Amino acid sequence: MFNHHLACFGEGDLDGIVSDYTEDSIIFTPNGNMKGLDQIRGLFTAFLEEFGKEGVTFEMTCTSVEGEYAFMTWTAETPDNSCEMVPILSSFKTARSWLSRMPGR
């Protein structure tokens, strides 16, 4: 599922990204928690718009996957923002992710 999520993000496939989550999923952000599919869809809509700009850099700084569990960290720079994410996932279907800096904030 981890590879599916990354591939969908790289392809800008919003429906594919959101399919990795459920109504019980939560993404924690400095600006409040994104709960459920509608809020998570909104968050990834903003991400895809932000990361679709010219001049974006992205670096996966750590990846560890064991079965249905994953830990990763990444950083990105866009023309307008810096972003850093540290998700700890027991599976995307029960995802709990932490976003420490968010685009547009």
Give me the residue spans of the domains in the chain.
2-100
Query: pLDDT tens string for the chain (105 positions)?
Result: 777 888 998 899 999 999 988 888 888 777 788 889 999 999 999 989 988 889 999 898 888 887 777 778 888 888 888 887 766 555 555 555 555 454 554
Hey, which CATH number is domain 2-100, 1.10.15.40, 3.10.450.50, 3.40.50.300, 3.30.2290.10? Answer: 3.10.450.50
With left for phi above 0 and alpha for psi between -120 and 50, is residue 36 left, alpha or beta?
A: left
Task: Look at residue 105 in the predicted model and tell me its pLDDT.
Answer: 45
Count the Cβ atoms, other than its own, within 10 Å of residue 102: 20
The whole-number pLDDT of residue 41 equals 95
- Return the number of other C-beta atoms located less than 10 Å from residue 68's C-beta: 13
Cα–Cα distances in angstroms (integers) from residue 4 to residues 1, 19, 20, 53, in the given order: 5, 10, 8, 22
